[in-house]
Amino acid sequence: MKTSLKIAFLLWCFYNCTACKNEPKLPTVKAEIVLADSLQKGYYKHFEGQLAEKPATLDLVKNLRLANNGHIEVIYQGYYRCFQRDEPIFVQGSVEAGILTLIEENPKGDTLPVTKLSGVLDTNAVFKGVWTDVAKGKKQAFEFTETYPTGVSALDYHVKLDSLIAKTVNKDLQGDPAAMFGMAFLILRDSGVGALFLKQKVFEFLKNSAEEHTRMRQLIAPQLPSPDSFLRARKDEYFAAYASEIRKSSSGKDSSEIVSLNYTQSHTMHVLMNEGNKLSVGYFWAGYTGGAHSNYGTGLFTYDLKKEQQLRLTDIFKPNYDKIVSHALEMAYRKQYNVKADDPLDKRLFDSEIYPNDNFCLVQKGILFDYTPGSIASNAEGEIRLFVPFEAVKEVLK
């Protein structure tokens, strides 16, 4: 998911310049509270508060990424929940002139944002500002405060960024191709409920070696690597594979072949729900290793930290749930993509039905299912994420 921050800023100017006098205003930014955190690490914050005088929450990460010019960029990403919709809403953005603007993109690929949160995140971890429904031109005040009540996990966000220039491996290679590596993950801040369980699950998902995956399952807690050593191992493993490819490359490659040697690998992690000792997370990954296009997708999981258990569909549904859940997924797809009731699904999908898969997570009012590009439709359709309300499948819920 990519956002044009220039477009976002222009839209912010437009909507705030045309706002009526009675609408909420952005707070004044003081120099001492402008965000200027170190570029060496990211963070996770769980916010609770009000939006339009109604309860709302925000799970936010501050992430870092390497731009094509090799510079580090700061990006803020997360999910918020409010009166507007039942499902968590993904937003991302950045800080401009002290204002943090988080934008929800239209899932259909339109350039205009759907909703946005703009405000000041001060040193006391209070995020206060204006929420905008861009399509309807509505504005509401919001105020969030960072908090971790009982059952909500405090998490640390560990980030590693690096690049490897191809010429350092093969000095005869023309051009300036490089490999860029980025990985970020969340683990519990202390040794509380489910801390070791979550750490092992995260490391298992982000490993690259099947042999290491099997071995890690057998490790006892003290043998699990530190976050930094784990990140360094993943980076070294990726760069070693890239270096091997570069050594095989000849200096006579044309420009198109040189471009294809710009490899990338990125893993990020977000929180979709954090309450009742249950943690729902999304692992987003993207990579390019040559060819016509990059690959990407999201893995969704819900961890019951108290029981130290990763939830499966059989933990949520009664036996023979498939048909009812499949129907609910169809209804969700038709609503989200404006597909008429008499229009067969297999005009756009590979099949006439959408079957529940294991790539899901629980959220406050339902279940999110994710279908990675190419799994139920062509790659051109992108990632398909469908929200099924509990109400739609209540007869098969445990």
Q: What is the pLDDT of residues 19-44, one digit of tens each?
A: 444 557 665 544 333 333 334 578 99
Angle among Cα 102, 364, 153 to the nearest 5 degrees reads: 75
The pLDDT, as a whole number, for residue 111 is 55
Provide the 3-class DSSP secondary structure of residue 220: coil
* Spatial contact of 326 and 335, defined as CB atoms under 8 Å apart: no
DSSP state of 226: P
Burial classification of residue 322, based on how many CB atoms lie within 10 Å of its CB (0-12 exposed, 13-18 middle, 19 or more buried): middle
pTM: 0.86
Please state, in angstroms and rounded to a whole number, the distance separating the CA atoms of residues 277 and 68: 39
pLDDT means over runs of 10, the chain (398 residues): 34 37 54 38 94 96 79 90 91 94 77 85 92 91 97 94 88 83 93 91 78 49 77 90 86 67 92 97 91 85 97 96 97 92 92 96 97 92 94 96
Q: What's the pLDDT score for residue 109? A: 55
Element (H, E) at 237: helix 227-248
| Tokens (6 digits) for 387 | 């929200």
> Which amino acid, residue 124?
N
Q: What pLDDT is recorded for position 112?
A: 63
CA atoms of 339 and 332, how far apart (whole Å): 10
Per the CB < 8 A criterion, the answer to whether 308 and 194 are in contact is yes
Pairing of strands 178-188, 263-275: parallel
* Per-residue pLDDT, 22: 53
Q: How far apart are the first and last CA of the chain?
A: 34
What is the pLDDT at residue 215?
Answer: 53
Are the CB atoms for 151 and 46 separated by under 8 Å? no
The span from the CA of 38 to the CA of 28, in Å, is 23
Beta strands in the chain (DSSP E): 43-51, 54-66, 72-82, 85-96, 99-105, 113-121, 126-133, 138-146, 155-165, 178-188, 263-275, 278-288, 295-304, 309-310, 360-363, 366-371, 384-389
Residue pair 5/96 in contact (Cβ under 8 Å)? The answer is yes
Name the residue type at position 201. Answer: K
Q: How far is CA 55 from the centre of its chain?
A: 23
Q: How far apart are CA 106 and CA 336, in angstroms?
A: 11
| pLDDT confidence of residue 144 | 97
Using N-to-C axis directions, what is the helix angle for 195-206 and 227-248, rounded to 10°? 0
CA–CA gap between residue 217 and residue 336 (Å, rounded)? 39
**Under DSSP, is residue 292 helix (H, G, I), strand (E, B) or coil?**
coil
Distance (Å) of CA 238 to CA 100, 226, 263, 347: 33, 19, 10, 39
CB 371 within 8 Å of CB 359: yes
Which tokens is 324 given? 């009812």
- pLDDT of 276 reads 96
Residue 108: predicted pLDDT:
60
Residue 244 phi, psi (nearest 5)? -60, -40
